[in-house]
Amino acid sequence: MTAKRIDGKAAAQAIRDRIGGLVTEFRSAAGRAPGLAVVLVGDDPASAVYVRSKGKATREAGMESFEHRLPASASQEELLALVDELNDNPAVDGILVQLPLPPQIDERVVIMRISPDKDVDGFHPVNAGRLAIGLHGFVPCTPLGCLRLLQQELGDLSGKEAVVIGRSNIVGKPMALLLLRESCTVTVAHSRTQDVPAVVRRADIVVAAVGRPKMVKGDWLKPGATVIDVGINRTDDGLVGDVDFEGASEVAGAITPVPGGVGPMTIAMLIRNTFVSAARREGFNYEKSL
Ligand code: NDP
């Protein structure tokens, strides 16, 4: 059996195009464009690439991109002052502070300072809490993108056995909560889990968010399982995921490639969250399933 390759790039483009259309309507109704502010501190090359592609995607959707750069030596107070300014700026609907931050700045303090209603990354504890108890808020972009791919592939997820490998605050934990919200039976595996392959073998849905190149092997999978590979690992062989794509393709029903799977969906969900924030702030009607 050869698994279907889930095309995250095409799915992401379709979402971005749809939002682009809604932005045109929003602009004529609200008399302004939705705005996303992205803050980059220092000059980490990978972060600079992410910030550039986020800015480009924002503009392509017809939204305003506000890009702020602070030097690597910036103090926590300077960054907090900028966040305060963006919280108060009515043209800004979403605020994203690119992580990681330099060591003199406490990431948690900065995230807590972003208004929860402009926190389009969904990292603020208020939004984490909203997700946990089933209130509307912002859900982190990567797990939300994974959920969209799963729904596109499988339709209703209710009753499925789902295994999430990884329990980070930005991927694994929110992913598990989203799958629970969709009425999956959810297991979260992590570095202390005994016999991860045996746990994974139960799953109709596997989401791997570990950061270990090609860790999940084909013989760990239940035949026909849907596999979402979040991993981005730079190796001598280039960019690889957390799943051994070749081996897994022989057993899985469908699988995301790396690159071209989850990565593009993360950016599409950032654009989505920014649009949703603007719509909420202006009382503009939009499809809740967006
Ligand atoms: P973290 O390092 O924060 O978390 C990794 C998780 O994997 C931890 O919960 C850890 O367990 C678990 N883990 C580590 N080793 C094992 C093991 N041998 N068996 C089972 N579980 C293990 O990573 P992130 O969640 O931030 O990211 C995960 C991957 O996803 C990375 O490759 C990252 O680059 C990628 N990523 C991709 C994005 C995208 O847009 N496509 C966005 C964000 C991340 P424990 O908690 O016990 O330590």
104 C-beta neighbours (distance < 10 Å), count: 12
Tokens of 245: 């794509």
* pLDDT value of position 289: 67
User: Does 189 sit in the ligand 1 pocket, CB within 6 Å?
Assistant: yes
Query: For residues 170 and 146, is the Cβ–Cβ distance under 8 A?
Result: no
Beta bridge partners of 226: 205, 254
Q: Where are the alpha helices (DSSP H) in 89-202?
A: 107-113, 125-133, 141-154, 172-181, 196-200
> Which amino acid type is present at position 95?
I
220 CA distance to ligand 1 middle (Å): 18
Q: Is 194 in the pocket of ligand 1 (CB under 6 A)?
A: no
CA 261 to ligand 1: nearest atom: 41
Low-confidence ranges of the chain (pLDDT < 50): none
For ligand 1, is residue 230 a contact (CB within 6 Å)?
yes
Q: Do domains 31-116 and 141-263 have the same CATH topology?
A: yes
Q: Looking at domain 31-116, does it have CATH number 3.40.718.10?
A: no
| pLDDT (tens digit per residue) in 24-57 | 999 999 999 999 999 999 999 999 999 999 999 9
DSSP β-bridge partners for residue 235: 238
Tell me, what's the pLDDT at 290?
A: 81
Q: How many helices (H) and strands (E) does the chain have?
A: 10, 11
Catalytic residues: 54, 98, 121
Whether 263 is in the pocket of ligand 1, judged by its Cβ within 6 Å, is: yes
pTM: 0.97
Q: Please identify, in words, the CATH class of the domain defined by 141-263.
A: alpha beta
Q: Where are the alpha helices (DSSP H) in 139-208?
A: 141-154, 172-181, 196-200
Q: Whose CA is nearest to atom 30 of ligand 1?
A: 231
Please tell me if the CB atom of residue 240 comes closer than 6 angstroms to any atom of ligand 1: no
Ligand 1 pocket, mutate which of 173, 175, 232 (most atoms under 8 A from CB): 232
Ligand 1 centre to CA of 260 (Å) is 19
**Is the minimum distance from the CB of 264 to ligand 1 under 6 angstroms?**
no
Ligand 1 centroid–CA 90 distance in Å is: 36
| Domains of the chain by residue range | 31-116, 141-263
206 pairs with which residues across the strands? 163, 227
